[in-house]
A and B are shown apart, each in its own frame.
Chain A
Amino acid sequence: MKYRENVRNFCIIAHIDHGKSTLADRLLEDTGTVAGRDMQNQIMDSMEIERERGITIKLNSARMNYKAKNGKDYELNLIDTPGHVDFSYEVSRSLAACEGALLIVDATQGVEAQTLANVFLAIEQNLEIIPVINKIDLPSADVERVRQEIEEDLGIDASLAIPVSAKTGEGVDKVLEAIVDLIPPPVDNSDKPLRALVFDSAYDQYLGTVCHFKIMDGKIKVGDKVKFMANKKEYEVVELGYQTPNRHPVDELTCGDVGYFAGSIKELTRFVGDTLTDVENPASEPLPGYKEALPMVFSGMYPVDNEDYGDLKEALEKLKLNDSSITFEPETSSALGFGFRCGFLGMLHMEIAQERLEREYGLSLVTTAPSVVYKVYKTNGEMLEIDNPANLPQSQVVDYIEEPYVKVQLITPEEYVGTLMELSQGKRGIFINMSYLDKTRVSLDYEIPLNEVITDFYDQLKSRTKGYASMDYEFKDYKRSKLVKLDVMLAGEVVDALSVICHEDNAFYIGQKLTTKLKEIIPRQLFEVPVQAAIGGRVIARTNIKAMRKDVLDKCYGGDITRKRKLLEKQKKGKKRMKSVGRVEIPQEAFMAVLSLEDD
């Protein structure tokens, strides 16, 4: 078999905060791909939100030219991967385009639950894994302990693990050498018909839809007619190139290369996971498919202003192009009007999607509290899948309900085992297993209803363990539960978008907390607003938001009318961000109130 001897395709896998983006920055700098003066931190993370939150959400790739110590020139393609539990699907897409992976472990933190999960994904893809122990410049770094953890927890030979400080640059040269020495080059099938794996697509206002791919077989040239094998659509290659991470157009790319192409693709279709081939000389079989990630949490997204419905639809279509794991379909709410029920991988994913819609598309949105998909078995034998609590049928016609459980793995220093067991049990968790990973670290396995995990489990986990524990979860199965729908009434009217499905035993507690929370969040109106929680028409909790008594600008300020105008305009703006439901103006965060009942 022939190989592209001078090409290496690799990705970086790491737990959040372990320094993936910093190492990527350093590699780009050390290979001269990005000059020091053009360097900004986290250069791979092109989205504003990514830089702000210090996380990577969307994939990006970069080609680096590197002259190795053996005197030969290499082309190193780095494919960046997201580092959060919500985005394991995106991780799997980038892994499939690589031959090797750098596994970064924080020398002060050690192996965490999510690292485990991603390493197993990489092993499944047969990637060569190079362990890198980062942050050795920190005083609390313990390289030997971490080395041992990598061997014991991950079963990876850690004798070759490279200690580095991505911050200071120490050891980075060794990483570059290891990439060349250890990661296998891609196979050279350039004489076969074209097959390229699309691992990302994004919409560009000038180029249209841009697809990012890795060529597994064959070649691609500007002017070629290409076809997506699953989608069946054909396009001409108008622009072809690689990223550094800026775009560099070229005339041709060949087997083993990572690149992008634009073909005046106007449709907002999904290409990720598809195989690109040549129209004239097509491959007979597409590449093996990607693992499809299924959205696990669903929430309603509604424009604050009903007139923005069309804009929201368009924005979601564009967003889906570069975040294919989002699903959406139209729904209506009597309280919120026309909107979409959207599916997300997890809570962070949902928050980021909302933030991007608001920031990048200038929309003002109301997002309802997330729900999981319930299986509702009716007395007539029919089964309904319900992802919106408002749609739960009347209890008379319901035989029983099943809810999704996830297998949750928690890794924690042993002193927090007690509090995490308490947390898991409080969330209706079923204890499965506990084992010591080493002398001080414990792995706890539970099966917990997903609904409980998405509310505030992660936040609670972090606050109870001062951030030391980590978690990972995957779908387990559906189990029968005693669930009820809790409705919320404001000023006597049921607000469907505030309904929640919860366990019968918790309903009273949640009703109390939720009404109290809503009272805090919803500003006083010109009239008194009773806030009630009810199950099937029976009120179980009630409080009142007193009427607003005084809101007046009384001072004259020596003729400073502009100041008065600004104050009123500010108030107007605040009001515009609220959703009118009946006579009551409700701020956006009220619809998420159920997620933060434990705050105080």
Chain B
Amino acid sequence: MVKNAYIHIPFCKSKCKYCSFISYPKLELKEQYLKALKLEITSKYRNEKLNTLYIGGGTPSTLTVNEIEQLLCLFDTEKDAEITIELNPETMSFEYFRGLKDIGINRVSLGCQTFNDDILKRIGRRHNSQQAIDAVAYAKDAGFKNISMDFIYGLPNQTLQDFSSDLNKAISLGVTHISLYGLKIDEGCYFYEHRPENIANDDIQADMYLNACKIMKENDFLHYEISNFAKKGCESRHNLNYWYNNSYYGFGVAAHGYIEGVRYANKNELGDYIKNPLICADEHKITQREMLEEEIFLGLRKSKGLDISAINRKFGIDFKEKYSNVIDKYQKSGYLNFDGNICNLTESGILVSNVILVDFLD
């Protein structure tokens, strides 16, 4: 049964220079988009009681509380469901948070990226550090207990110290969840064409990451997934659902879902989606082999790693035997732990996880 749903809000007032996602500054299409989105949800959603609901973007805070409420009321949720919204600190107010809280949202994720105002400007963010600090305060005042912040490391001119102080600042503000992403300049973003100077290479990013892991540990954050850290009990249940390779709905333009063994992607052009939100751009029935591979490469993202007996049961394999070469190779070099029941990456393994995951592909 599908117990999780993602809703995509594609609008952004402007595009950040490191971002290669699809987003639209055309807020005038908002109304039509929401109409299409509602049509998709009411057509596809089969009224399961959801465990998690996640509104991401883009910038979901381009919607009013009322608009968000109209989306939420389309769903049935468990009492303790995790309902998250991503926010841009730019336009936050106490009233907005209060409104979100009132309509049932219980987790907010703030795209902070850094507290360094020079860097924020350089990377094309619309907010400044004070607005991010204020946003956390408003959220807390409004009664949010579960507040997440996103940070990017390896930004132009950012030093290891800058990044440490970003994290310490966030911790001191009392956030309960932190996501860390290394700057990656993909095709399609502004920086791809206009490569910034003074960006950290992989070696420095590795140092920044390891240093961050240390800081988070010292402050009682659990490193529960490659890029995510949380106070106990504040892990993102929505994202963990991906890593457990469970099913989920994806609603909205360019959204991805996974239902009954089929991975699907919605149209990623806004006009196309509005015209007919029910036609997928891509659908792929996952084969047994692919499912096993995905179970492994998603599962190894979690610090808990893979539950071997569960995998053996689900796929009718002997994991240890099937992957003995890979396990041997990476266990010896200290990148992988394997004790027969659990298989997970070590901290140094996480940093080079692609190399390891690739060896699990057939």
Q: Write the residues of chain A forming the contact surface with B, with a CB cutoff of 8 angstroms.
A: 526-527, 546, 548-562, 564-565, 567-569, 571-572, 575
A-B CB contact pairs (8 Å), 9 listed: A526-B352, A550-B202, A554-B182, A555-B184, A556-B239, A558-B8, A559-B248, A571-B358, A572-B358
On whether the beta carbons of A561 and B256 are closer than 8 Å, the reply is yes
| 8 nearest CB pairs, A to B | A549-B206, A554-B227, A550-B206, A550-B202, A551-B354, A560-B256, A559-B256, A572-B358
On whether the beta carbons of A549 and B202 are closer than 8 Å, the reply is yes
Residues on B with C-beta less than 8 A from A558 are 6, 8, 56, 250, 254-256
Residues on B with C-beta less than 8 A from A559 are 6, 242, 248, 250, 255-258
Smallest distance from the beta carbon of A396 to chain B beta carbons, Å? 39
Residues on B with C-beta less than 8 A from A546 are 203
Residues on A with C-beta less than 8 A from B181 are 554-555
CB interface residues, B 194-214, toward A, < 8 Å: 202-203, 205-207, 209
On whether the beta carbons of A552 and B226 are closer than 8 Å, the reply is yes
On whether the beta carbons of A552 and B352 are closer than 8 Å, the reply is yes
On whether the beta carbons of A556 and B258 are closer than 8 Å, the reply is no
Residues on B with C-beta less than 8 A from A554 are 180-182, 226-227
Known A-B contacts A558-B56, A558-B250, A571-B354; A550 and B209 likewise in contact (beta carbons under 8 Å): yes
Residues on A with C-beta less than 8 A from B265 are 560, 562
Interface band, chain B: 35 or more
Q: Does B351 contact A (CB under 8 A)?
A: yes
Smallest distance from the beta carbon of A213 to chain B beta carbons, Å? 49
Q: Tell me the bound Cα distance from A587 to B146 in angstroms.
A: 48
Residues on A with C-beta less than 8 A from B209 are 550
Known A-B contacts A559-B242, A560-B256, A561-B258; A552 and B361 likewise in contact (beta carbons under 8 Å): no
On whether the beta carbons of B354 and A549 are closer than 8 Å, the reply is no
Known A-B contacts A526-B335, A550-B205; A561 and B294 likewise in contact (beta carbons under 8 Å): yes
Q: Tell me the bound Cα distance from A450 to B353 in angstroms.
A: 47
Residues on A with C-beta less than 8 A from B180 are 554
Residue of A nearest to B249 (CB): A559
CB interface residues, B 233-284, toward A, < 8 Å: 239, 242, 248, 250, 254-258, 263, 265, 282, 284
On whether the beta carbons of B333 and A562 are closer than 8 Å, the reply is no
On whether the beta carbons of B358 and A575 are closer than 8 Å, the reply is yes
Q: Does B95 contact A (CB under 8 A)?
A: no
Residues on A with C-beta less than 8 A from B8 are 558
Residue of B nearest to A552 (CB): B353
Binary flags per residue of B335-362, CB closer than 8 Å to A gives 1, else 0: 1000000000000001111110110010
Residues on B with C-beta less than 8 A from A567 are 354
Residue of A nearest to B56 (CB): A558
Q: Tell me the bound Cα distance from A554 to B351 in angstroms.
A: 10
Smallest distance from the beta carbon of B7 to chain A beta carbons, Å? 10
Q: Tell me the bound Cα distance from A278 to B207 in angstroms.
A: 80
Instruction: Find A568's partner among B205, B207, B239, B357 (CB 8 Å cutoff).
Output: B357
Residues on A with C-beta less than 8 A from B119 are none
Q: Does B297 contact A (CB under 8 A)?
A: yes
Known A-B contacts A550-B352, A551-B351, A552-B350; A526 and B182 likewise in contact (beta carbons under 8 Å): no
Q: Tell me the bound Cα distance from A555 to B242 in angstroms.
A: 13
Instruction: Find A552's partner among B250, B257, B333, B351 (CB 8 Å cutoff).
Output: B351
Q: Tell me the bound Cα distance from A407 to B290 in angstroms.
A: 59
Smallest distance from the beta carbon of A121 to chain B beta carbons, Å? 51
On whether the beta carbons of A568 and B358 are closer than 8 Å, the reply is yes
Residues on B with C-beta less than 8 A from A575 are 358
Q: Tell me the bound Cα distance from A575 to B358 in angstroms.
A: 9
Q: Does B298 contact A (CB under 8 A)?
A: yes
Smallest distance from the beta carbon of B331 to chain A beta carbons, Å? 13
On whether the beta carbons of A553 and B354 are closer than 8 Å, the reply is yes
Known A-B contacts A548-B355, A550-B352, A559-B242; A527 and B205 likewise in contact (beta carbons under 8 Å): no
Q: Tell me the bound Cα distance from A374 to B55 in angstroms.
A: 71
Residues on B with C-beta less than 8 A from A560 are 256, 265
Q: Tell me the bound Cα distance from A569 to B357 in angstroms.
A: 10
Smallest distance from the beta carbon of B152 to chain A beta carbons, Å? 10
Q: Tell me the bound Cα distance from A546 to B297 in angstroms.
A: 26
Residues on B with C-beta less than 8 A from A569 are 361
Q: Tell me the bound Cα distance from A569 to B354 in angstroms.
A: 10
Starting from the known contacts A549-B352, A550-B209, 15 additional A-B residue pairs (CB-CB under 8 Å) come to A526-B335, A548-B352, A549-B202, A550-B203, A552-B354, A553-B353, A554-B227, A558-B255, A559-B255, A559-B256, A561-B242, A561-B258, A561-B294, A568-B361, A569-B361
Q: Tell me the bound Cα distance from A79 to B317 in angstroms.
A: 61
Smallest distance from the beta carbon of B236 to chain A beta carbons, Å? 9
Q: Tell me the bound Cα distance from A448 to B181 in angstroms.
A: 57
Smallest distance from the beta carbon of A555 to chain B beta carbons, Å? 5
Q: Tell me the bound Cα distance from A550 to B335 in angstroms.
A: 13
Q: Tell me the bound Cα distance from A556 to B255 in angstroms.
A: 12
Residues on A with C-beta less than 8 A from B354 are 551-553, 567-568, 571
CB interface residues, B 210-232, toward A, < 8 Å: 226-227
On whether the beta carbons of B290 and A556 are closer than 8 Å, the reply is no
On whether the beta carbons of A526 and B227 are closer than 8 Å, the reply is no
Smallest distance from the beta carbon of B79 to chain A beta carbons, Å? 24
Binary flags per residue of B278-309, CB closer than 8 Å to A gives 1, else 0: 00001010000010011001100000000000
Residue of A nearest to B250 (CB): A559
Known A-B contacts A526-B333, A559-B248; A550 and B351 likewise in contact (beta carbons under 8 Å): yes
Residue of A nearest to B333 (CB): A526
Smallest distance from the beta carbon of A522 to chain B beta carbons, Å? 14
Smallest distance from the beta carbon of A577 to chain B beta carbons, Å? 13
Of A555, A556, A575, most buried by chain B (CB within 10 Å of CB) is: A556
Residues on B with C-beta less than 8 A from A565 are 290, 293-294, 297
Q: Tell me the bound Cα distance from A476 to B64 in angstroms.
A: 85
Of A527, A555, A557, A558, most buried by chain B (CB within 10 Å of CB) is: A558
Residues on A with C-beta less than 8 A from B227 are 554-556
Q: Tell me the bound Cα distance from A95 to B132 in angstroms.
A: 81
On whether the beta carbons of A550 and B256 are closer than 8 Å, the reply is no
Of A527, A546, A554, most buried by chain B (CB within 10 Å of CB) is: A554
Q: Tell me the bound Cα distance from A553 to B357 in angstroms.
A: 11
Known A-B contacts A527-B333, A556-B242; A561 and B355 likewise in contact (beta carbons under 8 Å): no
Residues on A with C-beta less than 8 A from B263 are 561-562
Smallest distance from the beta carbon of B293 to chain A beta carbons, Å? 8
CB interface residues, B 13-63, toward A, < 8 Å: 21, 56
Q: Tell me the bound Cα distance from A226 to B144 in angstroms.
A: 93
Q: Tell me the bound Cα distance from A179 to B338 in angstroms.
A: 79
Q: Tell me the bound Cα distance from A565 to B353 in angstroms.
A: 13
Q: Tell me the bound Cα distance from A242 to B258 in angstroms.
A: 59
Residues on A with C-beta less than 8 A from B353 are 551-553
Q: Tell me the bound Cα distance from A557 to B263 in angstroms.
A: 14
Residues on B with C-beta less than 8 A from A564 are 297-298
Smallest distance from the beta carbon of A538 to chain B beta carbons, Å? 31
Smallest distance from the beta carbon of A586 to chain B beta carbons, Å? 15
Residues on A with C-beta less than 8 A from B242 are 556, 559, 561
On whether the beta carbons of B351 and A549 are closer than 8 Å, the reply is yes
Q: Tell me the bound Cα distance from A562 to B254 in angstroms.
A: 13
Smallest distance from the beta carbon of A459 to chain B beta carbons, Å? 30
Q: Tell me the bound Cα distance from A527 to B290 in angstroms.
A: 30
Residues on A with C-beta less than 8 A from B255 are 558-559
Smallest distance from the beta carbon of B66 to chain A beta carbons, Å? 24
Smallest distance from the beta carbon of B264 to chain A beta carbons, Å? 9
Smallest distance from the beta carbon of B160 to chain A beta carbons, Å? 14
Q: Tell me the bound Cα distance from A562 to B250 in angstroms.
A: 13
Smallest distance from the beta carbon of A387 to chain B beta carbons, Å? 36
Q: Tell me the bound Cα distance from A555 to B293 in angstroms.
A: 19
